[in-house]
Amino acid sequence: MKYKAKESYKKLSDDKNYYAYGDSDKHNRLMTGQVIKITEVPKELKSHLESAESKKESK
Partner 1 sequence: MATNFQPKNGIEVGIGNGSKALGTLHAAGDTWNFLQVMDYSIQAASAPIDIAPNKSGLFGQLESQGHHRPDTQMYEVTLTMRGTTTAVLKSCLSLFGSGTSEASLTPAANTNDNSSNKMSHGGTNVNAVTLLFENAGADATNLDVSMVGCFATSMTMRQDVGSNGGEMVVETSFVTGYRPVQSAYAAPSSKVLDTGAPKNIFSLATSTLGGEALILNSWDITISRPLARIGFQNTTDYNPFGYVQTGPYEVTGTLVAKRDDEIHDLDASIAGNSTGIILALAESSGFTIDCQDVMIDDSKPEMGDYLLQSIPFRAFAASETAEIIGITIA
Instruction: Give contact residues for partner 1 (rule: CB under 8 A).
Output: 14-15, 18-26, 28-29, 34, 36-40
Q: How far is the CB of 3 from partner 1 (least distance, A)?
A: 11
Q: Please, which residue, 28 or 47, has the CB nearer to partner 1? A: 28
For 9-35, b/e burial (b = at least 16 CB within 10 A) is: beebeeeebbeeeebeebbebbeeeee
Q: How far is the CB of 49 from partner 1 (least distance, A)?
A: 13
Q: How near is the Cβ of 8 to partner 1 at its closest, in Å?
A: 18
> Please, which residues bridge with residue 4 across strands?
50
